A and B are shown apart, each in its own frame.
Chain A
Amino acid sequence: MFRKILIANRGEIALRVVRAARELGVQSVVVYSQADENSLPVLLADEAVCIGPPPAANSYLNVRNILAAALVTGAEAIHPGYGFLAENAEFAAKCEEHNLVFIGPRPDNIARIGDKSSARALAQEAGVPVTPGSSALKSLDEAKAFAERIGFPLILKASAGGGGRGMRVVQSHADLERQFFNAQEEARAAFGNPELYVEKYIEEPKHIEVQVFGDGKGEVVQLFERDCSIQRRYQKLLEEGPSLLEDDLRTRIAEAAVKLAKHISYRGAGTCEFLVDKDGNFYFSEMNTRIQVEHPVTEMITGTDLVQEQIKVAAGEPLSWRQEDLVVSGHAIEVRINAEDPEHDFRPTAGTITDVHWPGGPGVRVDSHVYAGYRIPPNYDSLLAKIIAWAPTREEAIRRMERSLRETVIEGVKTTIPFHLRVLDNAFFRRGQVYTNFIARRMSS
C-alpha cells in the first residue's frame, strides 16, 4: 500500500478521497488554489500545497505544479478525483514518467475509450450495441442517404462536440436540409471544426449507467447500474440505483459493460453509459474513465467503498470482490445540492454559507465540503453537497430523502433543495416513469 498520495482536486471529492485514504492508513496531500485556502479538504488533509491562483487553468489544471507538489512531498500516487485532469491521458502518462502512480486507468485506456468515435468502434468490436450512426459526413447528400437507411428521427452531432452544442434533432428530409448547415456553422463557431455525424435519435430514453471495476489484468466485475435520467442540459441532478428495468434487461446491460471493459483490459473504476429505449433496446453511448459524482449510490446498495478500492487496485492489490460476492441490497437515491436558484433557471448563486445543518438518522449519508462561514468561490462548479438516502425499498428511500431534505438547512445562498422536493413528490417520478426529458416535460411549471 502507498504511504502517501496526492489529491489533485477540490471540494467534496477531494474530501471523499482524504477520508478514504485516512481509513486505509495512507497520508494525503491536497493541492489547492488560492481560492480554496480555507476549504475543508485543505484543512483536513495531512498536508496541503498551494499550486496556483484561483482560475483552474492555472491551478487545478497546472500539471507542472501538481507534479512538483507530488515530488516535493514524497507522494507515491495521484488521485485525480473527477473533472479537471481525471480523464486526461497525457496527465496520466506524465505521472508515470515521474514514477508516480495515476490512480485510474492506464493512459492508453483513457485515450482509447475517452475518445467518442474510438469508443464506439471498441464497443462494436466487443459486440456491444451502439446507436446506429454514420461516420463523418462529407456532404448533405451523405446525411440524406443515411436517413433513407435508418429513418427519422435523427440527431446531428459535431465530431468535436460536447455539451449539446452543434446538436440538432431532425424529423424529416426538409428538416435535415435546413438543420444541416446550421449545425455545421454552430460546430465551426463552437469548436473550430464544422465536421458532423448523424445518429439515430432515441426518443424518451432512460440514462442507465453500469459501474465497472477492473484490475488491469483482464479481470472485471460490475457493481450494477444507476438510473441518471433526471438531467438538466446533460447535467445530472438526481441519481438512483438499482434501476426499475426488468431483471433480464439489467443483466444484459451489465454484461455488455463487462464485455467492453474486458475488451480493453480496463484498470480501476469506470462507468459505461447506455441509452435504453421504451422497447428495451439499449445502446452504449460513452464510458467515463474515473470515479463519478454519483458513486455513493452504488456504494450504498452494494456495501462497498469504491474510492478505497481505487487506491488499493492502483497499489497493485487484487480486486476485493469476485462477481458472485456482489449483490444489491435495498435502494439508494442521491441528490446534488447545488448553489443554484431553481426558480431562476438554475442560476448560480455565489456567496457565503452563513449556517448549515445536515440531516442525520438511519440510512442517510452526506458528502460535503461545506461548513458555516464557508465562502463559495466563483471559480468552480456549484456543487455544495450530495445527500444520499438508502432504504430497503424505493418507496422508503424516497420518503427518507424527503425527510432528509426537510431537515437540511443551508442559509446564505439559494440551493436546489426545493427543486428536489418537487421531483420526489412528482407522480411520474414516484411511478418510475422517468426519461431524460423528465425535467423539460414534467417539471416545467
Chain B
Amino acid sequence: MKIEKEYDNIFRYVLYRVNCREEAEDITQETFLRYIQHSEYHKAGSERQVLYTIARNLCVDFYRKTKTEPIGEDVPSADNADILRDVAVRVAMSKLSEEEREIIILRFVNGENISVIAKIFGTSRFTMSRMINGIISRLKEELGKEELL
C-alpha cells in the first residue's frame, strides 16, 4: 500500500462527504490512526477497503454530531471556463442519490476498482458493476445536455 496515495484518496473521499477541509483533515488522520491501532484491520490486500470503511463510518459519526448533510458544492479555484464546467458536473452529480455519488467518486475520481467498492457497500461486484453502468448512463445523459460529453 502506498500510503501517500491512499492518504490523498481518503482525504478526497472524506472531503467530498463532509465538505469541510478542516474536518476532512481530522477524519483522514483519525482513519489512519484507527487502522494502525487495530490489528484486525491488517489483512493483506484489503487495506483500501478497510480504510474506506473506517473513513465512511467516521463521516457518518460526523453527520450525527453536526446533523448536516454533505453538499459537495465548494468549487476549486480555476479559470472561468473550468469553473463553469465543474459546476455543471456537480449539478449533474447532484441529481444522483448520495450513495450513487459516493460510488462515482470512488470509481472515477479515486480510481478504485469495482471489487473494492463492492466490498465497501457490501454487495457483489457484479451488482456493483451494473449499478455503476446505470449511474454512468444517467450521468452521461445529464452531462450530454450540457454538451460536456
Q: Do A and B assemble together?
A: no
- Chain B residues engaging chain A, CB cutoff 8 angstroms: none
- Chain A residues engaging chain B, CB cutoff 8 angstroms: none
